Structure 1
Amino acid sequence: MSQQIKPGNTGPSANELAHWLALNQTAGVGALTFQRLLQHFGDASRVFAAQNSELRQLGLRANTLRSLQKPNWHEVEKQQKWAACAGNSLITSACPTYPNLLLQISDPPPILFVSGSSSLLNSPQIAIVGSRKPSPGGEQNAKQLSRALGQHGLTITSGLAYGIDAASHQGALSSQTPTIAVLGSGLDNIYPRRHQQLAQHIRNNGALVSEWAPTTEPLSHHFPRRNRIISGLSLATLVIEASEKSGSLITAKLALEQGREVMAVPGAIQNPMAAGCNRLIQDGATLVSSHEDVLNNLNGFLLLNPIPVKDPHLAGINNNLSSTKPKLTSCQHKVLYSVDYDPTSIDNIVVQSGLTIEQVSSILLALELLGHVSSAPGGRYYRLTTGTC
């Protein structure tokens, strides 16, 4: 079984690892209690041999004491067999290969289940999170930023959720750079279900990570816990599109508590999807308008030789025009400059451009086919590019 333990180190033996697995699934034993028990007893096997009176003095409740008396060794065996499969591994917090940045947080997971390249967990990472229902512009920003940052040597870490998470993973994969997905479920129980194929691509070109046993269901309380791992693995957390009540702000808050950098892509003050990011910037988060802003801000943390950027798409997060696209006509420029990066109604576009509604409708269709704008509900449009062509 892969324990991610180098020969000659002081990591747990096979027997001790089995007790780690048993303790990890004991009712009422979370990361902090696990730490406290190990510090008191020295190793996990002694916890199971301890008297109830001693365990009670450590604050353990009756349901935890009952669980310790009847460890689920059948489940432990299943997890050991899972780890023995090709590409799977277990990393305990006692192993030298446990990610150093994650070990520095107040409550690191005792055990990480990893499918894919476990060595990536110690690579320099940036967490990219945001709305599960982003605008086309927000989704494109996530893809282009992750692609650019991946090209410059950063591993993209996110949570496999819909929206910005998925776009960030896809951006990294599109440039053949690694990405890590941290799940709020077991790795044999991919959530959301529609991301099974994306998860497989990540497994083949990066890593899937969870603190939960492989068959664990995606319960709601797992996801805030998952977020501390996303931020804990990373040098910084970048938020792209988030409302004021977005769950991605939990990740940003955790990053701050962990002493990590928080960055955000700003948006128009009228856009509710930008309110969370704008608030973060107002509270001191670094404003990001290009991947260079991220790299410059991390300069003190990274000792990287930047990979030469060959892709012209990486010049900025809003520039996805290639030299093969036809140049815009003057009327097309008028319409494009009348469309904001936030939802813009056709009526406003007509007023701003000075063209007729028939002309505007025809030009918007052409611009959409060229990839300069995208339609939104209610007959509105977002701009996707700068249009400097």
Structure 2
Amino acid sequence: MKKEKLLAILRLQATKNIGDVIAKKLISACGSPEQVFNESISTLLKIPGVGSHALQHIFDEQILKRAEEELLFLEQSNYTYHYFLDNDYPHYLKQCIDAPILIFMDGNIELKTDRIISIVGTRTITNYGRGFCNQLIKDLSPYHPIIVSGFAYGVDISAHKAAIDNNLQTIAVLAHGLDEVYPKAHKRYIRDINTNGGFISDFWHNEPPIRENFLKRNRIVAGISKATIVIESAEKGGSLVTADIANSYHRDVFALSGRVSDEYSKGCNNLIKQNSAHILTSAEDIVNMLNWDVSQKQVKQTALFINLNEQEQKIFDYLSKQGKQLLDIIARDCDIPVYQLSSILLEMELNGIIKPLPGKLFEV
């Protein structure tokens, strides 16, 4: 990436009142991050959804200076970074409207798989929760999923450790910069996680772990994966926020049920009761719901024995790779108008190629 482009992205990322959604609007309207800073305020104000409040600090010299310092650090560090329009930006995260315009990575992260799951929960994990988490990841290991969590006490670090024990890639999403360590007690896990995956953050390298950052990073935990699993949670907690975000992204959410009298099962039980999560009893629930038990051989044989036209084959290949998906998302990703897609899906359903699911979902 050119130096000028990266500097412009960093300036947008650091400007107060400009979040990721507005930053993307500015970039889209102007054509590039660099061009945003070549336009006048009056021109930028004409962009739909961008008001004067958002542009108050856009040409602030102090922000420019900070961005130049961060740029210099990145040029001298071993960290990698990914712009939201780049091909190597995480696939599922890219689909989220509020995904970071720039993320930073450290370690040996390889995201070329759709078997990515996030595991979250209470920091006060019980023996029941820890035992289930360990067994769940062990039972899922033959499918080689990537395990994502937040590097916190309790469920998070249990998930990371279980992934490492089963030779699975694990990714820790941080609520601070990559040069910071929080909690300090988890410093001893950094090498193993970097070897078996790595760390992701959208905060600059020396950003401290302040309270609001933890809620902000939850959108990455929910957005980067195919499904979010809540192991244990009290009636209120950050993991429930992550589950809510995952639902807003139309991702699957699973929750481990527990006794109604158990404090750290109440949040999970409520998710299930409110139909905000599938009940989780074993690894088989995830394998079946996410279609991990469908082999590539089966997919290829189905394609061979059915005569599909170009659009049907496009939809079939898409759903074979993605698993179940919403009507609107299929239309967008396959570039087929919804009105036209509906009739194609009906024809494919009648031919036994796909099946509809509740909530305007379809799967092969």
| TM-score, normalised with respect to structure 1 | 0.70
Equivalence for 2:27: 38
Structure 1 window deviating more from structure 2 (14-23 vs 165-174): it is 14-23
Q: Tell me the CA shift for residue 302 of structure 1.
A: 7.2
Q: Tell me the CA shift for residue 154 of structure 1.
A: 0.6
- Give the CA RMSD over aligned residues: 2.3
**What are the Cα deviations for residues 28-67 of structure 1, in whole angstroms up to 9, with x where unaligned?**
2111111111111111112112212223444444684444
Q: Tell me the CA shift for residue 76 of structure 1.
A: 3.2
- The equivalences for 1:214-253 within 5 A come to 214-253=205-244
The yes-or-no answer on 1:297 pairing with 2:289 is yes
Q: What SS does structure 2 have at the residue aligned with 1:35?
A: helix
Aligned partners of 1:114 and 1:210 also within 8 Å: yes
Over 3 Å counting, the alpha-carbon distance change for 1:170 and 1:115 in structure 2 is same
Equivalence for 2:266: 275
Aligned partners of 1:159 and 1:165 also within 8 Å: yes
Equivalence for 1:136: 127
Q: Which has the larger radius of gyration?
A: 1
Structure 1 window deviating more from structure 2 (137-146 vs 159-168): it is 137-146
Aligned partners of 2:30 and 2:36 also within 8 Å: yes
Q: What SS does structure 1 have at the residue aligned with 2:243?
A: helix
**What are the Cα deviations for residues 135-157 of structure 1, in whole angstroms up to 9, with x where unaligned?**
11212222222233244211000
Equivalence for 2:204: 213
**What are the Cα deviations for residues 314-356 of structure 1, in whole angstroms up to 9, with x where unaligned?**
xxxxxxxxxxxxxxxxxxxxxxxxxxxxxxxxxxxxxxxxxxx
Q: What SS does structure 1 have at the residue aligned with 2:37?
A: helix
Corresponding letter in the other structure for 1:159: G
How many residues align? The count is 294
Over 3 Å counting, the alpha-carbon distance change for 1:207 and 1:122 in structure 2 is farther
Equivalence for 1:90: 81
Aligned partners of 2:92 and 2:223 also within 8 Å: yes
Over 3 Å counting, the alpha-carbon distance change for 1:86 and 1:123 in structure 2 is farther
Corresponding letter in the other structure for 1:246: G
The yes-or-no answer on 1:180 pairing with 2:181 is no
- The equivalences for 1:162-181 within 5 A come to 162-181=153-172
The yes-or-no answer on 1:23 pairing with 2:15 is no
Corresponding letter in the other structure for 1:34: A
The yes-or-no answer on 1:50 pairing with 2:39 is yes
Q: Separation in 2 of the partners of 1:107 and 1:76?
A: 21
The yes-or-no answer on 1:147 pairing with 2:138 is yes
Q: Separation in 1 of the partners of 2:262 and 2:110?
A: 40
Q: What SS does structure 2 have at the residue aligned with 1:119?
A: coil
Aligned partners of 2:177 and 2:204 also within 8 Å: yes
Q: What SS does structure 2 have at the residue aligned with 1:149?
A: helix
Q: Tell me the CA shift for residue 117 of structure 1.
A: 2.2
Over 3 Å counting, the alpha-carbon distance change for 1:91 and 1:57 in structure 2 is same
Q: Tell me the CA shift for residue 75 of structure 1.
A: 3.4
Q: Separation in 2 of the partners of 1:172 and 1:190?
A: 20
Q: Separation in 1 of the partners of 2:269 and 2:8?
A: 47
Q: Separation in 1 of the partners of 2:242 and 2:112?
A: 18
**What are the Cα deviations for residues 211-234 of structure 1, in whole angstroms up to 9, with x where unaligned?**
111111112111111111111111
Over 3 Å counting, the alpha-carbon distance change for 1:278 and 1:80 in structure 2 is same
Q: Tell me the CA shift for residue 90 of structure 1.
A: 0.5
Aligned partners of 1:189 and 1:216 also within 8 Å: yes
Corresponding letter in the other structure for 2:280: V
Corresponding letter in the other structure for 2:44: L
Corresponding letter in the other structure for 1:24: Q
Q: Separation in 1 of the partners of 2:140 and 2:110?
A: 19
Over 3 Å counting, the alpha-carbon distance change for 1:118 and 1:21 in structure 2 is farther
Structure 1 window deviating more from structure 2 (34-43 vs 118-127): it is 118-127
Q: Aligned residues: percent identity?
A: 31
Extract unaligned runs of 5+ from structure 2. Answer: 298-364
Aligned partners of 1:100 and 1:122 also within 8 Å: no
Over 3 Å counting, the alpha-carbon distance change for 1:281 and 1:192 in structure 2 is same
Q: What SS does structure 1 have at the residue aligned with 2:118?
A: strand
The yes-or-no answer on 1:265 pairing with 2:256 is yes
* Corresponding residue to 1:116 among 99, 104, 107: 107
Corresponding letter in the other structure for 1:40: A
Q: Tell me the CA shift for residue 199 of structure 1.
A: 2.9
Aligned partners of 1:21 and 1:76 also within 8 Å: yes
Extract unaligned runs of 5+ from structure 1. Answer: 1-11, 306-389
Equivalence for 1:75: 66
Corresponding letter in the other structure for 1:289: T
Q: Tell me the CA shift for residue 294 of structure 1.
A: 1.3
Equivalence for 1:287: 279
Over 3 Å counting, the alpha-carbon distance change for 1:297 and 1:123 in structure 2 is closer
Equivalence for 1:344: none
Over 3 Å counting, the alpha-carbon distance change for 1:170 and 1:35 in structure 2 is same
Aligned partners of 1:26 and 1:71 also within 8 Å: no
